[in-house]
Amino acid sequence: MTGGAQSGGGDGTAGGFALQACLNGSRGPTDHPGLPVTPLRLAQDACAARAAGAGAVHMHPRDGTGRESLSAADIGAAVREVRRAAPGLPTGVSTGLWTTAGDVAARRAAVLGWAALPTGDRPDFASVNLSEPGFTDLCEDLRRLGVGVEAGVWSVADAEALAAAGTDCVRVLVEVIGGEERTAVARAHAVLARLDELAVPGPRLLHGEHASAWVLVDEAGRLGLATRIGLEDVLHGPAGEPVRGNADLVRLARTRLATYGR
Ligand SMILES: C[C@H](N)CC(=O)CC(=O)O
């Protein structure tokens, strides 16, 4: 089985949870009527996702115009509101380079600005995409800020880059981005196997998006790995049925994971 020895201490979780809710991603409000964008809506959805069975949240905080933002003010406002509504819920944010339009120095400066936040307003962890330039400096900056790194591995090449860098991370996100549903499981296995071959430490969280989202929730269940679901990754249930929002998606994922004893 792939993802075995390094999958998270044998308890099938990624550092204490089996299911993370990815609340909004880069989506806009026209994508789904339930999409949370403001700190208050993110907090409401975090709370509802936890009640539905999520053990952590990942979000893309926005500025006053609704655009993704890494500024200390916007990150701090979203994290603070989520912590107020859902105390103790592990809370993470994206650091996607698209947020600063591909400007590595601007991203680094924004993240370094989180030093001005009280520690309680800093996220517990942040995802860092290995395919993006500047990931080693960013990981070191996050470590100094006391923010855990979720290493975003999208390919075998990313797995090799992570092994070569030796980055300390709280979790390895095996993210099957793009491509067709019928190849998603094979792609996931190729990355998981390479991570294990290279003895990359850290629990794995496996997920896909769009057509591959549900098939990889099932595969994570089968492999005993953590996974994630939410409006960032998919806008409907496993049979294409409509959902009201993140809490519905989390409930549906929990039902599927239960069939694998999770
Ligand atoms: C393209 C993926 N939705 C990227 C993702 O989930 C990780 C991140 O926020 O950087």
Question: What was the pLDDT predicted at 30?
Answer: 96
Distance CA 182, CA 194 (A): 20
**Nearest partner of 142 among 159, 123, 129, judged by Cα:** 123
Distance CA 13, CA 17 (A): 5
Question: What was the pLDDT predicted at 4?
Answer: 35
Question: What was the pLDDT predicted at 16?
Answer: 81
Cα 256 to ligand 1 centroid, rounded to whole Å: 23
Question: What was the pLDDT predicted at 221?
Answer: 98
Question: What was the pLDDT predicted at 101?
Answer: 98
**The residue to which tokens 């993470």 are assigned:** 92
How many Cβ atoms from other residues are within 10 Å of residue 121's Cβ? 18
Question: What was the pLDDT predicted at 14?
Answer: 56
Which residue stretches of the chain have pLDDT < 70? Answer: 1-15
**Contact criterion met (CB below 8 Å) for 12 and 226:** yes
Mutate to test the pocket of ligand 1, among 69, 99, 138, 175 (most ligand atoms within 8 A of CB): 175
Cα 126 to ligand 1 centroid, rounded to whole Å: 10
pTM for the whole thing? 0.94
Cα 76 to ligand 1 centroid, rounded to whole Å: 19
Question: What was the pLDDT predicted at 10?
Answer: 37
